[in-house]
Amino acid sequence: MASETSVPTHRRVRRGSAEDHDQLRQQIVAAAFAIHEREGVSALSMRALAAEMGVSPMALYRYYPSKADLLRAMWEVVLSDAQASVKAAVATQKTARARLRASIESFLRYWESHPAHFRLVYMTPETMEDRAQGAPLTGSEAYVSAVDLAGPLIDELVAEIGGRKDRALVARDLRMSLMVGYLHARIVNTRYPWSDFDALRACAVETIAAGVEACVARSPARSAKRS
């Protein structure tokens, strides 16, 4: 009787056109995601990936010279997908306040729907590296684009409420820190006896939006002194 678990046979990686090269890179990343979804990032290695694909480990190094390079490619996929979700939600809103809230809500929804992706992007050792040391994630185009996405949202809010332009970057950072903090609590800290995540989530969205607005708002006293 044949075994239900088939052993992959090793095959030569084709070295064809640039299109073939890109296609194989995508296949490698897809196989890496499959391992990560099943077993977590700690199980992801070039050897495990080669076994998943049925190729020689050395065949993969031509496409991804290291695990860090592979992780960066995976982050690019995830961050681009998350950014597309946020952009789609923001595009439906008419005011700066509404766009800010939509960006927060859609950001939370994406990562709540993809908890393994959250762990991959925010909790792998490589993502914890100091940015000043050239961490792979912070150097990726998708990461820079995701950070830059918040800039126009804050600038539009400042213009809409007559706020402080000099606090825009602080407001951007506040938005991110509060969103990731909530997501870490929801996805990672499962031991805490959370009472009602739906209520907590609704409060989180409003609190983050209000905090960003308060960060850039001009206080009545300060405005009166300037008038």
Question: Which one is predicted more confidently, 192 or 42?
Answer: 192
Global pTM value = 0.82
Beta bridge partner(s), residue 44: none
pLDDT in tens, 200-214: 999 999 999 999 999
Rounded mean pLDDT of 20-35? 91
Q: Which of 114, 115, 96, 76 is nearest to 159 (CA)?
A: 96
* Cβ atoms 116, 81 nearer than 8 A: no
The secondary structure of the chain as a DSSP string is ---SSPPPPPBPPP---HHHHHHHHHHHHHHHHHHHHHH-GGG--HHHHHHHHTB-HHHHTTT-SSHHHHHHHHHHHHHHHHHHHHHHHHTT--SHHHHHHHHHHHHHHHHHH-HHHHHHHHHSGGGGS-GGGT-TGGGSHHHHHHHHHHHHHHHHHHHHHT--GGGHHHHHHHHHHHHHHHHHHHHT-TTS--S-HHHHHHHHHHHHHHHHHHHHPPPHHHHHHH-
Per-residue confidence band for 195, with pLDDT thresholds at 50, 70 and 90: very high
pLDDT in tens, 38-88: 998 888 899 999 999 999 889 899 899 888 888 889 989 999 999 999 999
**What is the distance, to the nearest Å, from the Cα of residue 184 to the centroid of all Cα atoms in its chain?**
13
Indicate whether 93 pLDDT > 90. yes
Tell me, what's the pLDDT at 224? 45
Taking the C-alpha atoms of residue 108 and residue 187, their distance in angstroms, rounded to an integer, is: 11
For residue 19, the tally of other CB atoms under 10 A from its CB is 8
Indicate whether 95 pLDDT > 90. yes
Q: Which of 62, 64, 24 is nearest to 44 (CA)?
A: 64
Rounded mean pLDDT of 130-138? 61
Question: Which one is predicted more confidently, 100 or 20?
Answer: 100
Name all domains of the chain by residue range, CATH numbers in brackets: 10-65 (1.10.10.60), 72-226 (1.10.357.10)
What does R_g of the chain's alpha carbons equal in angstroms?
A: 22
Angstrom CA distances, 75 to 32, 71, 203, stand at 11, 6, 29
pLDDT in tens, 142-167: 888 888 899 999 999 999 999 999 99
